[in-house]
Structure 1
Amino acid sequence: MVAGGAVLGLALTACGDDGDDGDSDNGAGSDETSSSTEEAALTNSECGGNASSADAFYAGGILPLTGSLAFLGPPEIAGVGLAVSDINAAGGVNGVDACHNILDSGDANDLSVARQSARELVGKKPSVVVGAASSSVSLGFVDTLTEAQITQISPANTAAELSGYSDYYFRTAPEDSVQGSALGSLIAQDGHQKIAFLVFNDAYGTGLRDFIQASYEGAGGQVVYGGKGEGQEFPPGQTTFSSEVTSALATNPDAIVILAFDETGAIVPELAAQGWDMSKIYMTDGNTSDWSEDFDPGTLEGAKGTIPGADASDDFKTRVSDWSAEFEGAPLDDYSYAAESYDATILAALAAAKGGSNESTVVQENLLAVSGASGGTDCASYEECLALLEDGEEIAYQGPSGIGPLNENHDPSSAFIGIYQYSNENKPELVDSVEGVS
C-alpha cells in the first residue's frame, strides 16, 4: 500500500532525585548512583547551573511535565536519563561527562510554557534538545532553536508538516503517513466499511486524520463524519462531547476513530452512554494509553490503537523503569517513546563524538552519518559504537526503537507501528506490529 508517501509492509508479526542546579555549579552537576542493576550502575547526572556544551555533553529536554500529554513525560524523561547514564558509564563524550536538563513543554493550549523553556535552553548552549512530544508544541518553538543553531530531536513528533522542516530539526518517531497508513489498513482489514472521526483541530489530529482517511478510502472504505474538509473538528481542550457523538452516530458508522489527547477521557464515556459498541473504537499514539484508572472495567475491551515504535526488549524496559524508579520516584507503567528518547540522546552523543566537539552545530553535521545514512558497521550501544568511531570506522547505530537510518528529511527511513488491543482492565496490549517505510 502506498499512502501519503509511505509504503507499508503489510505482513503482521507479533511482536530523582533532583541534583543541585545552583549557579555555582559547573559541568555535569550532581551525579547520583544506584547499584540496583546487574549491568553498569545507573546514574542521574543533572546539568549544573553554569554547564554548557563547552564543558559537558549537554542534553536539554523540552518534555511534557504538565498538560494533556503529561502521561508521556515519565517514559521520555527516563529514556533521556538512562541514555546519559549509559554514555557516562562508557566514558562520556569527547573527554567530558554527559548531563541532562529537562524542562516543561506544557501543551498546545499554552505555548508560552514551551517557548520559555526553549529560550532558557538557548542560553545554556546545549549540545542537543530532546523534545517536544506534541507536534504542535514543537512548531511553537522549533524556529527559536533553529535560529540559535541548536539541534532538536523529537522522540514523538509525527506531523508531516515537520518533515524536512529545518536543518536543525530531526526526529526518531516516524511521520504520520506511516502510522496513518497502518491504521487505515487495519480498520479496512477488520471489515469496517464506514467510519467516523472524532478529531480535534490540532496539527497532529488533522494531519494524522488525513493520512488515515487516504489509506482507508484507498482500501474502499467510506468516511461518513469528521473527514477532511467537512469542518467537524472540535477545539483542543473541549470537555463535553454530547453533540459531536450524537452527530457522528447519526451517520451510522461501523467504527469510530478518536484522535485526541486528554479529551478522550470525556469522549469515551459519552460514546458508552449513547450505546456505542466500544470494541469498534480505534485510537492512535496520542491516546492509546492505560485508562484503567479512568474507566470502569471492560469499558474499552476490544478497542484498538496504534503507537509508533518497536516493542523494546524486556532488558531495556527493565533498565529504563529502574532508572525512573530510582531517580523519578516511581517505575514506569507506560513505555511510549522511552526508546525513541533514549535513541535521540545516544545518536546526538555519537554525532558529537564523531565530530570531536560537543557543540550543537557539530552534532547537527554528523547526526545523519551515525544513524547509518551513509552506511557503516552496525552497532547497538553507545559503548560499542564509540569504539568503532575511535577506530576510524563509519557506524550505523541500531537502538531499541528499531528505526532505520535518518533520511534526507531527517525522519526515520523505516519504523515499526505497534498495534494494540484493550483488555478488560482498559490497558492496551501489543498484538501485532507493522514495519513502514517513509
Structure 2
Amino acid sequence: MNRRMTAAKGVALAAALSLGLAACGSSEEPTDESTADEMAEGESSADPLVIGTTLPVTGTLSFLGPPEIAGVGLAVSDINEAGGVLGNEVTVEWGDSGDNTDATVANSTATDHISQGVDAVIGAASSSVTLGVVDTYVEAGIMMISPANTSAELSDYSEFYTRTAPPDTVQGAALGSLILEGGHTDVAMIVLNDSYGTGLRDHTQSAIEAGGGTVVYGASGEGQEFPPGETNFGSQVSAALATDPDALVLIAFEETTAAVNELVAQGWDFDGTTYFTDGNLSNGYEFDEGTLAGVQGTLPGAQADDDLRERLNTWYSENEGGELDGYSYSAESYDATILAALAAVRGGDTSGQAIADNIKAVSGAEGGTEVTTFAEGVEALEAGDEINYTGPSGTGPLNEMNDPSSAFIGIYEYGDDNQYEYVRQIEGTTAE
C-alpha cells in the first residue's frame, strides 16, 4: 500500500472539530517512581507514541516528499526494532502538507492529526506552510518538528515547535560566500515572494554586501519578487538581465522549470554563474542535456552517507514501491523522529508536552553521553545519564531559540546530465 496516499482525506472533518480533542490523544501523566520501575521492566502506562507527518506529497515541493517520508519511516522502523517507546510500538499517521498555494491541504491534515491523537508532527517542509498551521498544533499541545523549515520567523516561535534544519542565517551566509568566492560582485536574484524566499534572499544579500558585492536586481525592498505558482517569467528575466549581472540566484520551488526555460530563451549562460538553493536543488528536471552544467547550489544538512542512503532506499522501495532520486532533508527527517522518541523516553510520557519539555535535553543541550542511535539513547537514559543525540544530519544541540546550534551546509554542482553532485560542506553556527 502506498502510505503517502492515506494523507488525501479532504476537508470533511475540518469545520466542526474542536481542538479539545487533542486532550483525548494525550498520554497519561506518569508518576516519577512508577516511570522508573516501568522503564526498568520494559513496561509503561504511557500511551503509544503516535507520530504524524505533514510532508509534501503534492504541490510545488513534492520532490522533497519521498526522501523526507523515507527518513521518518526508517526512523520509526529503527525505533520499533529497538523495542519501541516506553514499551509500545510507535505508529505513524501519514499526512500531506501540499504547498503555499493551497492552505486547505495542510489545514485538513492538521484536523486529521488532532482527531487521530497525534503526539508529534514531523513537518512541514515549507516555512510558509508551517506558519499557516503551527498555531493549530500549538493550541492542541502537539509538538511540531520540521526537518526543512529555514525561515527566521520560526526561531523561538513556541515551546511546541522546533526544527532539525538551520535557519536562513546559516544558509544565506554560506550562499553569499560561495557567490563571492566565484568572483561575482553584481548579482541578480529572482526570488519567490513568501517567507522562505524573501528570508533567504535577505540573509544572502547581507552576506554579498558584507563582502563588497551588490544585488543589482531582486534586492530587499525593491518589490521584484514573483508570486507562488508563477509560470511566466518573461518580463522578470528581461528586467534581471538588463542589469548586466555577473551571477544570478534563483530562489524558487517548482517554478524553477519555467524560470530556467525563460533564461535559456533569453540567452543566459548558466555555467559558473548560476546558483540554486534547497528549494530547487533537484535531480528531477527534464531540460536538454547540459542546461544546468556548472550550476551550484546550497542545501542545509550533512551529506547522507552510503549506508544511510542504502537503508533509506530499501525502506522506500519496500513501503512505497519506488526509488529515491534525491536525499534532501532525509537525514533531518530521520533525526526529527528519533529526537521526538527519545524526548518521550526521557519524560516517561508520550504527550506533546513531555516531548516539548525534553527535546532540548536529548539533543545535547544538557551535555551528557553522546549517542548515535535510538537504542543507545534509551540505554543511556535508563542508566540515568543525560544524552547528546548526534544523528546523521550532524546538527548541534537545540538552543534557546529552538534552532540547531550548529549545522552543515552542503555545496553541490550540476554536471552535463543535469544531475547534481556533492562538492563539499561547511559548518555554521546559529545565533541565540
Deviation at 1:313, TM superposition (A): 1.7
- Aligned-residue offset at 1:431: 0.5
Which residue is 2:277 aligned to?
Answer: 284
CA distance in 1 between partners of 2:357 and 2:192 (Å): 37
Does the 8 A contact of 2:4 with 2:96 survive in 1? no
Q: How does 1:280-319 map to 2 (within 5 A)?
A: 280-291=273-284, 293-319=285-311
Q: Find the counterpart in structure 1 of residue 37 from structure 2.
A: none
TM-aligned CA deviation for residue 125 of structure 1: 2.3
2:155 is aligned with what amino acid? S
Correspondence 1:330 to 2:342: no
TM-score (norm 1): 0.88
Cα separation, partners in 2 of 1:61 and 1:193, compared to 1, 3 Å:
same
Show structure 1 runs of 5+ residues with no match: 1-15, 22-49
Amino acid of the structure 2 residue aligned with 1:290: N
- Counterparts of 1:27-426 in structure 2, within 5 Å, are 55-279=47-271, 280-291=273-284, 293-426=285-418
Equivalent residue letter for 1:182? A
Rounded to whole Å, the distance in 2 between the matches of 1:112 and 1:166 is 23
Structure 1, residues 49-80: CA drift from partner, whole Å, max 9, x if none? x9875632111000100000000110111111
Q: CA deviation at 1:19?
A: 11
Structure-2 change in CA distance of 1:19 and 1:162 (3 Å):
closer
Q: Distance in 1 between matches of 2:83 and 2:137?
A: 28
Amino acid at match of 1:407: N
- Quote the offset at 1:154 in angstroms: 0.2
Residue 20 (structure 1) shift: 12
Q: Is the 8 A contact 1:51 1:58 kept in 2?
A: no
Structure 1 residues 73 and 246: alpha-carbon distance in aligned structure 2, compared to 1, 3 A threshold: same
Preserved CA contact (<8 Å) 2:176 2:204: yes
Cα distance in structure 2, aligned partners of 1:407 and 1:312 = 24
RMSD value, Cα: 1.5
In structure 2, what is the equivalent of residue 433 of structure 1? 425
Structure-1 separation of matches of 2:255 and 2:5: 37
Quote the offset at 1:250 in angstroms. Answer: 0.4
Question: Secondary structure of the equivalent of 1:244?
Answer: helix
Percent identity, please: 57
- d(CA) in 1 for partners of 2:298, 2:334: 20
Look up the SS of the partner of 1:258 in the other structure.
strand
Q: How many matched pairs?
A: 394
Provide the rounded CA distance (Å) in 2 between the counterparts of 1:20 and 1:247.
41
TM-score (structure 2 length as normaliser): 0.89
Please identify runs of 4+ aligned residues in structure 1 that moved more than 2 A: 16-21, 50-55
Shift of 1:413: 0.3
Whether the 8 Å contact between 1:52 and 1:58 is mirrored in structure 2 is no
1:74-102 Cα distance to aligned partner (Å, 9 max, x none)? 01111110000000000000111011111
C-alpha separation in 2, matches of 1:17 and 1:134: 23
Displacement of 1:18 in angstroms is 4.4
Give 1:234 deviation, angstroms.
Answer: 1.0
Query: What residue identity is the alignment partner of 1:154?
Result: S
Mapped partners of 1:125, 1:184: distance in 2: 43
User: Would you say the 8 A contact 2:49–2:119 is kept in 1?
Assistant: yes
User: CA offset at residue 124 of structure 1?
Assistant: 2.1
Q: Distance in 1 between matches of 2:163 and 2:128?
A: 14
